[in-house]
Amino acid sequence: MIHTLFEVAQMTGLSLRSIQNGCRHGRIEHTARGAGTIRIRRGMTGVQVEKLLAQRTVKVASPAQPELEPLDDLAEAKAATRRRLARYSGRSTAGQRS
């Protein structure tokens, strides 16, 4: 069975416009129906919809390593100072602020 692009958008949760553009530019596999030269009717089979979902599925990354907590107040103050100075690393540190 061939699904219309509107049906595919409803099934996948993608926008109709992004599916249409992907088909038009060849990034999404689809089936052109009809012999019209002005209007091409596009659709997708169930296998093509499954391939689209497989392409668009986000793979889960490994969890980030937790940031180590400072051991004492001095280490915490040093870390805060480093973060603050990192924000201004591209600016002059001659004491002038604009």
User: Tens digits of per-residue pLDDT, 35-65?
Assistant: 766 777 889 999 999 999 888 877 666 677 7
Q: How far apart, in whole angstroms, are the C-alpha atoms of residue 63 and residue 36? A: 51
**Six token digits for residue 69:** 């907590």
Q: Which residues contact 52 (CB under 8 A, 6 or more apart)?
A: 8, 12, 14, 19, 28, 29, 44
Does residue 71 surpass a pLDDT of 60?
Answer: yes
Query: Residue 98 — pLDDT band, cuts 50, 70, 90?
Result: very low
The pTM assigned to this predicted structure is 0.54
